[in-house]
């Protein structure tokens, strides 16, 4: 099945660090631009219990560490589910710190002539 390339708006409509939700064929897709300029598009549905995941916090993570150590990492690259706090890596879509991680449904996204496109 061939993918469709759909325009979803000008790049200026996608502020850094905030999801914009678009509906394509009845499916909600959240698109976010990170501080470094990268765009990510994910289905607005947590694979755990179906929460509107793009309504969650976009921040960083506190990885497992040794006693007495605490480090905050990956600021702006981790999406936290608003229902149960599951953390997802926006680059890979994988849930963090799980033996058998679930994965966000990601879509290819890009910019051409100032217009944002999603491949479905």
Exposure string over 44-81, b if 16+ CB within 10 A, otherwise e: bbbbeeebbbbebebebbeeeeeeeeeeeeeeebbbbb
Q: State residue 1's pLDDT score.
A: 67
Spell out the per-residue pLDDT of the chain, length 120, in tens: 678 889 999 999 999 999 999 998 899 999 999 988 999 999 999 998 889 999 999 988 887 778 888 877 777 789 999 999 899 999 999 999 888 888 999 999 999 999 999 998
Q: CATH number, domain at 9? A: 2.102.10.10
Q: State residue 54's pLDDT score.
A: 96
Give the count of domains, the chain.
Answer: 1
- Name the residue among 105, 92, 103 with its Cα closest to residue 38: 92
Task: Measure the CA dihedral 19/22/24/25, to 10°.
Answer: 110
* Boundaries of domain holding 94: 5-119
Predicted structure pTM score: 0.86
Tally Cβ neighbours within 10 Å of residue 38. 12
């Amino acid at each position: 099945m061939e993918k469709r390339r759909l325009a979803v708006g000008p790049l200026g409509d996608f502020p850094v660090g905030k999801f914009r939700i678009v509906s394509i064929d009845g499916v909600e897709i959240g698109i976010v631009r990170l501080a470094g300029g990268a765009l990510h598009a994910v289905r607005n549905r947590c694979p755990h219990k179906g929460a509107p995941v793009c309504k969650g916090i976009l921040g960083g993570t506190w990885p497992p560490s040794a006693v007495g150590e605490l480090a905050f990492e990956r600021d702006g690259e981790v999406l936290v589910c608003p229902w149960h706090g599951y953390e997802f890596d926006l680059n890979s879509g994988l849930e963090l710190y799980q033996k058998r991680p679930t994965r966000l449904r990601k879509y290819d996204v890009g910019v051409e002539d100032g217009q944002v496109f999603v491949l479905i």
